[in-house]
Structure 1
Amino acid sequence: MKITRIETFLVPPRWLFCRIETDDGLVGWGEPVVEGRAEVVRAAVEVFAEYLIGQDPLRIQDHWQVLTKAGFYRDGPVLSSAVAGIDQALWDIAGKAYDAPVHALLGGPVRDLIRVYAWVGGDEPDELADGIAAQVEAGFTAVKLNACGRMSPIASSAEVDAVVARAAAARECLGPDRDFALDCHGRFTPATARRVLPELAPFRPLFVEEPVLPEHQHALASLVEASPVPLATGERIYGRAGFLPVLQAGTAVVQPDLSHAGGISEVTRIASLADTFGALFAPHCPLGPIALAASLQVGFATPNLLIQEQSLGIHYNKDADLLSYVVDPEPFRFVDGHAVRGQQPGLGVTVDEAAVRAADRDAAHKWRNPVWRHPDGTLAEW
């Protein structure tokens, strides 16, 4: 069996899909994307395709080694994301070739259900309450919300109070038997994180995500020491080497993204590395159906999985949603806040190819993240 064609499709709201076809008619799908830089990743996939065309798609690990290590300049979000989508598609082909779900090829399932959480938007406590109530009504037992918007380099008393008020509102709505997580998006400086984290303890969030930027990993050990709340990070870390200092710092939850951190092949290794530190695994995935399908396949075969992010109804998505490009929504039908293990071969999702090709022909949907500034005009973290 040989790879004969590799295509990419830029689709709303901000996703890039990859289709790999073989000479015997098998097709695999992946999701290689850096949100806001999808066109750059598309170019990287085209470069990697020069090597892959004519190769045996089942030599997944060898291809991963070549794509990540044969070049003199390595790593970074663009190259790692291009590899990630290709890797997902190759695993999809392998599952179809062996007539087995990917989790079976990874050693078999360790669980039948995966707890998932839903996103809640809104800036005011009343909006949060309505959003959380809707997700609870939909059966979810956990939600995640933004901790804050733009933050001063050292948070003011009012800014700290606003973060704490959001946590308090979430806990009041959820009661003691459900969970919430707070996502900081790296908007706290280390000084602000040390100020805020202890004040969140009474509300017992499941975790606080990305309290500081990835380039401030050197501060994580002191933050872990200062924080009574579990800390999570990893969506902007692209391989095992980047996660090692995070784990050595005592981070409780790692969050590699299956579309950024080298795909299924590398993320399974990151999860195993985390397990040696007693850390839990909660893949980042506010993306599309292929990325989520890949994440779930890994999760079903990973003992130290905590919970899975998913984007159904997420406030970020406009013009398209998680189910817009799939033929059958059943793999994403959550039961009591859990994804149910399926037996479909490969990634277990059937892509609506006609919808994908039609969406790619519309070039008006190119997405860019906003640019935020502080009142003095300096750049602020988005």
Structure 2
Amino acid sequence: MTADQQQLVKATVPVLKEHGVLLTTHFYNRMFTHNPELKHLFNMGNQVNGKQQTALAMAVLAYAEHIDNPAVLMPVIDSIGHKHTSLSIRAEHYAIVGKHLLASIAEVLGDAATPALLDAWAIAYQQLAGIMSGHEQSLYNKQLEKNGGWTGWKPFMVKQKVQESAEITSFYLHPVDKGPVADFQPGQYISLRLFLPELNLLQPRQYSISCAPNGQYYRISVKREAGASHPDGMISNRLHDHIGEGDIVELSAPAGTFTLDPGNERPKVFISGGVGQTPLMAMLETLSAKQPDTAITWVHGCRNESVHAFKEQLATIADNHQNFNPHIFYDQPEVKAQYTGWVELSTIKQEVLQADADYYICGPAPFIAKHYGFLVENGVDTASIHFEEFGPASLQLNN
């Protein structure tokens, strides 16, 4: 790519900042019109709520801003690559996306989309596609190197379905072929795919693995979405209402970059809201079994006791591990609560702010942004703060 072409791409940054979502919305509409089979690959709920369009607009903008040194985007590329492998996106899909992305640039920008600009973006896209597909192939290869590893979709049976709270149910998933269960890093997720009659589509959804690696099964813990009549929540509710013990679901291999460093024995502070505690449960179970001396501060918030999943497990861990320090917030308590109201780290500031600790935050985007901001304002190094936002990324906190 020439310096002039890089400048042409960079010159589109102001347009992308102002009209990026308009461009990506046009792109998705165009792509699904011409290639409707790709609807089976995408979470259509995130199309309805606009999260996917926003996430792509932010990614395209970041790439344009760093077109002269895309290596600085490697952490983002790694995260997107994990998501893509969990959806079984392959190199051939990049050709389809590129075709519609370039056409969308031409159609949205109109006369401003000169032949030179389109040529520059074509080369830029080919460069990005090469980086992405190459990285994703390396991730696929690593999956295949694992004992029991696979790529694509594999059938698993629901051996147990356990109600954890009034809203959250756990599904214990065993491979139908009765082979070994591939290992994973605590904090990772799996994609689960079901057919949705309402949409006449196969639909994938990501669910955090909520147990420690055990070689026998994966456990996901799924929240029922009240009143979900749109794609966002349909898979979760279908699992609750139509999938029982003995039923078969399809899974992709574990993926994700929000993970526990197994060799790090620094104190841990886990901060979660609602079902956001699921990946942290995998981390907690792993630490309590393999590093029982690690100091753990557990901060969790939900509406009340009836919707608080894993209460008994947490109580058992608290009884058996003197270094486990839980702080539970109920904003609508039914009985006397340890803390009443939304999670406020300032309330437990002395417990939370620890020298040389690692922080893991999981929950809705506003929850993460609030507590990330508190930690940074109180001197915590951003390198020590890790977070997982459910759904397409919208937070840019570590930049």
Relative to the length of structure 1, the TM-score reads 0.26
Structure with more strand by fraction: 2
